[in-house]
Amino acid sequence: MNVLIKSATIIDSKSDFHNTTQDILIENGKISKIGKTIKNPNNYNEIKLENLHVSQGWFDSSVCFGEPGYEDRETIENGMLTAAKSGFTTVALQPNTHPITDTNSAINFAKTKTEKSPTNLLTVGALTSLSKSIDLAELFDMHTAGAVAFYDYKKPIANPNLLKIALQYTSSFNGLVCSFPLETKISGSGVMNENVTSTTLGLKGNPNLAESLQVARDLFILEYTEGKLHIPTISTAESVQLIREAKQKKLDITCSVSIHNLFFTDEVLTDFDTRFKVNPPLRTQKDIDALIEGVKDGTVDFVTSDHNPITIEDKKVEFDHAEYGTIGLESAFGALNTLFTTKKTISILTKGKQRFGMENKTIKEGEQAELSLFNPDTKYTFTKNHIFSKSHNSIFLDQDLKGKVYGIISNNKKVL
């Protein structure tokens, strides 16, 4: 692929061209030249877009596509195209498929389906067999097949000894264990945050304690085992503080937060709209403030869309019976760019690949082109017209967002 990008503002703090407007010549998928004005050498396709900005390729640490087993929700092919159109050059795919991704053959299946995709796929294997939290899955076999982490998606590890063994075992090959922060005996059948809003609505509540208690337990076990742990999608102020203290102890810990948990409080549930039923639940403004501060000071390592397509049949039901989850790839940049400066937004979106075994590709001559293209200043209302996913369960419908994604250039391909 040969293209000439014209007049693009480069946002890449690791690049010598950071915060300057340049032409970028890409030949055979590599950046061959960067300069103020580059003449088109061989009548290459030129990319000229309004207020064009480029950055290192964006990364999302948690997406779900459904296939195999839930193709009615989303296929891998369309999911990867959605990621590309949303500006992501790398995504980590969760194992909540049917069958569960808990063997090396299942890892290879996902990799084979995405060999020609412009977006890189990182596969996450289940931590336990069938994600039932009883026996460890074939962790080393999945690691050799390319699994970058091990996680029973949205299912907590009830047995603390199982987490201890997993952390000890994966240390032998530098594996990353993920533990969903929920103590189910405390949360019970809660379907939203336990607060005055849940009492008013008559819905069963899931208290902050159910999360922070599990986080505290996991951090104690991590300190004992000296393993490598990631806690995905925290949602409470208490969790932020616990992880901050763990990092001060130099424990090998990272964590993430879902974008919607930075954007919405539990007060949006007054109409019982199941688009807002997510796990962990939407919390209070106090929690949001603590999470945003955690993102700013580095306590929270990643912000994820937590993209999870759910069919209308599983969402348009009574609130208690609706499935948890929202799609989020399409709205990720616009939502983050609404909450943070563009510089901080790009910093968030380009963090974290190293934790999952991938290196960032800096914007410089001679480097493989892995770029996200966008306009940070476009303001718009997010509607179904902005959705590329098969499922339309977006928590951000009708929200005012800022920032338009043009697409990506990656793996010697472009999606614009």
Residue-wise pLDDT tens digits, 240-277: 999 999 999 999 999 999 999 999 999 999 999 999 99
Instruction: Check if the beta carbon of residue 329 is closer than 8 Å to that of residue 63.
Output: yes
Phi, psi of 253 (to 5 degrees): -130, 135
181: its two tokens: 């922060």
- Write the pLDDT tens digit of every residue in 16-51: 999 999 999 999 999 999 999 999 989 999 999 999
What pLDDT score was predicted for residue 41? 87
Question: pLDDT tens digits, residue range 327-351?
Answer: 999 999 999 999 999 999 999 999 9
352 sits in which H/E element: none
In percent, how much of the chain has pLDDT > 70? 100
| Residues with active-site annotation | 306
Q: How far apart are CA 227 and CA 164, in angstroms?
A: 9
Query: Tell me: the pLDDT tens digits for 57-75?
Result: 999 999 999 999 999 999 9
Are 231 and 218 a contacting pair, CB within 8 Å?
A: yes
Q: How confident is the model at residue 405 (pLDDT cuts 50, 70, 90)?
A: very high
Give all domains of the chain, ordered by start, each with its CATH number. Answer: 3-54+363-415 (2.30.40.10), 57-356 (3.20.20.140)
Q: Residue 21 phi/psi, 5° resolution?
A: -100, 120
Mean pLDDT of all residues belonging to the chain: 97
Side-chain-side CA neighbours of 172 within 13 Å: the count stands at 8
Residue 329 has which token pair?
A: 């790839």
d(Cα 287, Cα 337) in Å, to the nearest integer? Answer: 20
pLDDT grade for 78, boundaries at 50, 70 and 90: very high
Alpha-carbon span 68 to 89, nearest angstrom: 22
Measured CA to CA, the distance from residue 351 to residue 346 in angstroms comes to: 9
